[in-house]
Amino acid sequence: MNFSRIVRVVLISCFAVATLPSALIAQTNCDEGTGPLNPAQPQGVTPQQIIEKFGAKEEIFRQALNNYVYTQDITVQELDGSTVSGEFRLVQEITYDDKGGRIENVTFAPQNTLRQLSLSREDYEDFRYKMAFVLTSSDLPQYNLLYVGQQRQDEVDTYVFDIAPKTFVKGQRYFQGRIWVDNHDLQIVKSCGKTVPDTIATKKKKNETENLSPKFVTYREQIDGQYWFPTYIRADDVLHFRGNDVHMREIIKLTNYKRFGSKTKIIFKGEAKEDPKDNPKDNPKTPEKKP
């Protein structure tokens, strides 16, 4: 999918649905494009140092994203076997104001034909932020990270970490899953998991709303030779509501990244740095490697 997020969709069941036998085979594939996992420790650097370095890079990336316009194309589908039985579609042009506020200009929004699922306020927050999962230095204290090895993701050699929240604060949602970090740029190039916790209805509260999260995978691509921006997010999962299963698919495409505005400076830890995009002599060509 995509991606926020670094990422998830909260889908609320509002109609009774029949269990789908074919839903048993639905599964988001986290391993697509990956090679064998090598559990060896990294050489010349500790896992903790890798975490600190990519957290710092993510901090810069989060600021840099506010200097780019892009197109976000969202599709959420209900599936009956291999047939699409309902669909939500939204295409937007995303930009930011001079204070970093997000501006969404809708360019395509056909009628929503979802029947078994409805999108909540949290869904739209996930489209904006959660599925394109970002893990900055300021986010790191909220999570436990476990180094699990090294793995080739398409044409990129990566360090692999499993991640889970340390605690749950009421009203907050977190990412739980796996991330792949480029061993050269030390930036996240792929993430796969789900947003937690789910809200599951109990027998004591029959009318309680259920918020269930699908498993999703987010791929990033290097933009302007330095920033790994989310470009593709996909979920293919079965949401197990109380007494009913819903097979859903989601695809989010983020395309047409373009710098906008005047000369800017990226601020990190109180130090202002000129964005290399503003100085062509210092701006390397984009390497042809993608997650």
Q: What is the pLDDT of residues 143-171, one digit of tens each?
A: 999 999 999 999 999 999 999 999 999 88
pLDDT of residue 163: 98
Q: Is it the case that residue 80 has pLDDT exceeding 90?
A: yes
Please tell me the least confidently modeled range out of 109-113, 195-199, 200-204: 200-204
Distance CA 88, CA 78 (A): 9
* Beta-sheet pairing, 117-119 with 227-241: unpaired
Q: Is it the case that residue 10 has pLDDT exceeding 70?
A: no
* Beta-sheet pairing, 143-153 with 11-13: unpaired
pLDDT of residue 99: 79
- Taking a C-beta distance cutoff of 8 angstroms, is the pair 123, 10 a contact? yes
- Exposed/middle/buried for 233, CB within 10 Å: 0-12, 13-18, 19+? buried
Per DSSP, the three-state class of 214 is coil
Query: Residue 208 — very low, low, confident or very high, per pLDDT cuts 50/70/90?
Result: low
Q: What is the pLDDT of residues 178-200, one digit of tens each?
A: 999 999 999 999 999 999 888 77
Q: What is the pLDDT of residues 115-137, one digit of tens each?
A: 999 887 777 888 888 888 999 99
Q: Is it the case that residue 265 has pLDDT exceeding 90?
A: no
- Which of the pair, 273 or 28, is modelled with greater confidence? 28
Query: pTM, whole model, 2 decimals?
Result: 0.80
User: 133-156: buried (b, 16+ CB within 10 Å) or exposed (e) per residue?
Assistant: bbbbbebbebbebebeebbbbbeb
Task: Give the distance, in angstroms, between the CA of residue 83 and the centroid of all CA atoms in the same chain.
Answer: 26
Q: What is the pLDDT of residues 169-179, one digit of tens each?
A: 988 889 999 99
Residue 23 half-sphere exposure toward CB, CA atoms < 13 A: 20
